[in-house]
């Protein structure tokens, strides 16, 4: 387990225990998967458009880097969404406050790096959004498993840029599922980039 995850667990959990569980390639039952193809520079605006749907009551948004997570949270906050962020550069008090606020419903949205998918348990997450694709199928499973806990149902949305499509197909192939593609009605997918758009980040680093 990464040292960053161990440090986070020790900071926010009481007497944590480490349990080794074999890797799984089966996504949680009750999760509805959806891919939303979108140019990389339009991901931020598409995320805002999705969050206009009030049925997305408790949303966990995943980013691949700490800097990216901070940028997403700032952009959503500027658009008047109730949001907090958690990653390894946040202090213990900031991480605890963010998790408590999300768990108790004070923040509708929590933006996180993948440390949040490793052992942090928040009930009632209605949606998981992969703003950036994970680094492989197992990480995808960990992410989407934050919703549809117990007998609940949940939705997992992946924002897939054209340059990420091949990586996303590898995830589908590994999981043995074909995830439907969808477009948001009335969203301008062809709008030119501006200075507030999210830049493309580097290619996925494959496990092993």
Q: pLDDT tens digits for 61-103?
A: 999 999 999 999 999 999 999 999 999 898 889 988 999 999 9
- Would you say residue 11 has pLDDT above 80? no
Predicted confidence (pLDDT) per residue in 98-123, tens digit:
999 999 999 999 999 987 666 677 88
pLDDT class of 202 with cuts at 50, 70, 90: very low
pLDDT in tens, 19-30: 544 444 556 678
Stretch 133-149: mean pLDDT, rounded? 90
pLDDT, residue 195, reads 61
As a whole number of angstroms, the distance between CA 184 and CA 199 comes to: 21
Say what the pLDDT of residue 205 is. Answer: 39
Taking the CB of residue 167, how many other CB atoms lie within 10 A of it?
A: 17
The pLDDT value recorded for residue 80 is 96
Q: Could you count the other beta carbons within 10 Å of the beta carbon of residue 172?
A: 15
pLDDT at residue 5, as a whole number: 59
How far apart are the C-alpha atoms of 173 and 137, rounded to whole Å?
9
Query: What is the Cα 125 distance to its own chain's centre?
Result: 11
Average pLDDT over residues 171-190: 94
What's the CA angle centered on 128, arms 125 and 134, to 5 degrees? Answer: 140
Query: Is 199 a residue whose pLDDT tops 90?
Result: no
Sheet holding 31-37, edge to edge: 31-37, 154-160, 127-130, 59-62, 109-112, 83-86
From 169, 100, 101, 158, select the one nearest 129 (Cα to Cα): 158
Single pTM value for the model? 0.81
Residues 168-184, mean pLDDT to the nearest whole number: 94
Residue that has been written with the tokens 């007497």 in this structure = 15
Taking the CB of residue 61, how many other CB atoms lie within 10 A of it?
26
The CATH number corresponding to 30-175 among 3.40.50.970, 2.40.50.140, 1.20.120.50, 3.40.50.300 equals: 3.40.50.300
CA distance 150 to 118: 17
Residue 208 has pLDDT above 50, yes or no: no
Share of the chain above pLDDT 70, in %: 77
């Amino acid at each position: 387990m990464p040292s960053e995850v161990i440090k986070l667990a020790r900071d926010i959990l009481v007497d944590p225990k480490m349990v080794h569980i074999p890797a799984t390639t089966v996504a949680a039952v009750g999760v509805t998967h959806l891919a939303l193809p979108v140019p990389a520079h339009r991901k931020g605006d598409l995320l805002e458009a999705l969050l206009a749907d009030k049925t997305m009551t408790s949303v966990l948004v995943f980013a691949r880097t700490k800097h990216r997570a901070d940028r997403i949270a700032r952009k959503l906050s500027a658009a008047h969404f109730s949001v907090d962020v958690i990653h390894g550069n946040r202090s213990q008090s900031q991480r605890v406050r963010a998790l408590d606020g999300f768990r108790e419903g004070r923040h509708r949205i929590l933006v996180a790096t993948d440390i949040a998918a490793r052992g942090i348990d928040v009930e009632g997450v209605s949606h998981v959004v992969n703003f950036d694709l994970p680094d492989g199928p197992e990480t995808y499973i960990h992410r989407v498993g934050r919703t549809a806990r117990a007998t609940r149902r949940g939705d997992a949305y992946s924002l897939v840029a054209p340059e990420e499509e091949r990586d996303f197909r590898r995830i589908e192939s590994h999981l043995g599922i074909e995830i439907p593609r969808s477009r948001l009605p009335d969203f301008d997918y062809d709008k030119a980039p501006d200075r507030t758009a999210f830049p493309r980040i580097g290619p996925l680093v494959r496990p092993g």
